[in-house]
Structure formats: structure tokens, C-alpha cells
Amino acid sequence: MASAELDYTIEIPDQPCWSQKNSPSQSGKEAGTRQPVVILLGWGGCLDKNLAKYSAIYHKRKLLELLFDYEIEREPLLFHVFSNAGVMLYRYVLELLQTHRRFCHLRVVGAVFDSGPGDSNLVGALRALSTVLKHWPALLRLLLLVAFALVVVLAHYLLAPLTALFHTHFYDQLQDAGSRWPELYLYSRADDVVLARDVERMVEARLAQRVPVRSVDFVSSAHVSHLRDYPTYYTSLCVDFMHSCVQC
């Protein structure tokens, strides 16, 4: 699924919902309680003003470097990933965590995937892009959608053998990711952007990698609308998952 812009923010609780004792610091004193830091990776169609305002930060500083700027790099981290655009950004975060010396000691405790990931669904991608561009002039929106469809068809069907030599599709890369922290997949069979079968196939692949995985099918809610349609249930799932991740 495509997006015109990747949005993210970092949520830092004002008061801890729970606490956890950490290992002693280099000075020999206990670091005390640690609050979980939740990093939201979202899609370009996000209309929440509180989330969208953070999107410009990505163009100025790398996401993980903000943890050091705010001096919260020692806190347990949990990623909450929305749609495929969030997954695409999460993919590069994983690479940084595995290859960058400064980030390899960050303590990631879990990841939540809302409405993703999906694998090569052109119709769903066009629907998502149409949502992102819905405030654009109709003619320009149509031209962009046609251009996008042509590029996807060219890249996926004609150039795939060539691009596969130096680029791995984010869906395939996530299936084989080396991360082993728990994952929670929240999806719906009514989602017409990211197909439920793609999410379920990812769940099976991650379970085969011995990753602790849980998945919940909301059945009737639309793409990235599970929280809106089932606020209490959705919230309880996320809070319980985060609690269990921090305690591990």
C-alpha cells in the first residue's frame, strides 16, 4: 500500500501505568522505575491533528535519534504500527536496530500491527492513496492514481526479477525479520485495503520463526478503524499486551 507521507510520533506517559525495576546503572545505583515509550508509526491518510503534526520531524532527524534527544533511550520501547506505510518505516527501523552501533542497545519489548502488513494488493493501494489525496483536485487525483498504478504494474510485474537482486519487498523482509520480541496483529476480514489473508499469512510465518504472536480479527471494522469501532476492546488489547511485554 502506498502513502504520500509517513507519519510518526512518540508517546511518553505522564504517569506510569506500571513500573519495572531495571538492572543497576554503571554507577552501581538502581535506575529505578522505567516507563514504556510507545512509538506510533502511521499512514499518510491519518487525520488526527495530534499525530500528523509530528510528520515533519522525520525529514529533519532520524526517528531513533529522538530517543537520545529526549534522554529516554533506556526506557522499554514498543512500536504501534498502522497500515503498510507504517510497516515500511518499521522495516527501516529494524535495520537500524540491527546494524547501527548506537541503536543496537535500545530495549524494544514488543510491536503492535494495526491493519497490516499487506502484500502487493494493487486495488487496496489505490484505495489508500485515494484516501490520502481526497482533498486534492479531482483531475490531479485521477492522474496521480493512474500514474501510480502504471508504476506499480511496471515495477511488480515487469521489473520484479531485476529489483529482487538488490531489494527485498518489505512484506518478505518482515516475514524473516530477526526480531524476537512479541507481536500483536489487529486486523479485520472487512478491510478492503489490506487483506486479512495477508495478515494471517504473516502471523503464520512469524510463529514459524518462534516469535510470540497473537492476532485478533475484528471481523467488521474497516481499514485502521478498529479503535473507532471497538474503542474499549481495542484499548484493553493494547494495554494488556504492553503490560505483558514490559513485564517480560
- In the predicted model, what is the mean pLDDT of residues 94-120? 90
Weakest mean pLDDT among 54-58, 95-99, 213-217: 54-58
Cell numbers 504473516: residue: 202
37: phi then psi, degrees, rounded to nearest 5: -110, 125
Whole-number pLDDT of residue 84: 86
Is residue 207 assigned to a domain?
yes
Is residue 22 assigned to a domain?
no
Whole-number pLDDT of residue 23: 33
pLDDT for 207 beyond 50: yes
Is residue 171 assigned to a domain?
yes
Rounded percentage of the chain residues whose pLDDT exceeds 90: 36
Weakest mean pLDDT among 159-163, 199-203, 205-209: 159-163
Question: Nearest Cα to 83, choosing from 120, 117, 52, 51?
Answer: 117
pLDDT digits (tens, 9 = 90+) for 43-55: 555 555 544 444 4
Inter-residue contact 8 to 37 (CB < 8 Å): no
Separation between Cα atoms, residue 20 and residue 24, nearest integer Å = 12
pTM (2 d.p.): 0.72
Residue 37's H or E segment, with its range, is strand 37-42
Is residue 133 assigned to a domain?
yes
pLDDT digits (tens, 9 = 90+) for 211-242: 999 999 999 999 899 999 999 999 999 999 99
Q: Which amino acid is at 17?
A: C
DSSP per-residue string spanning 172-208: HHHHT----S-EEEEE-TT-SSS-HHHHHHHHHHHHH
Is residue 98 assigned to a domain?
yes
**Which domain CATH number covers 227?**
3.40.50.1820
- Overall domain count for the chain: 1
How far are the Cα atoms of 91, 207, 244 from residue 7, in angstroms, in the given order?
14, 28, 27
Query: Of 47-61, 96-110, 183-197, which one has max mean pLDDT?
Result: 183-197
Q: Which amino acid is at 4?
A: A
Is residue 2 assigned to a domain?
no
Q: Which amino acid is at 143?
A: L
Separation between Cα atoms, residue 20 and residue 38, nearest integer Å = 16
Whole-number pLDDT of residue 78: 94
Task: Identify the domain containing residue 114 by its residue range.
Answer: 7-12+33-247
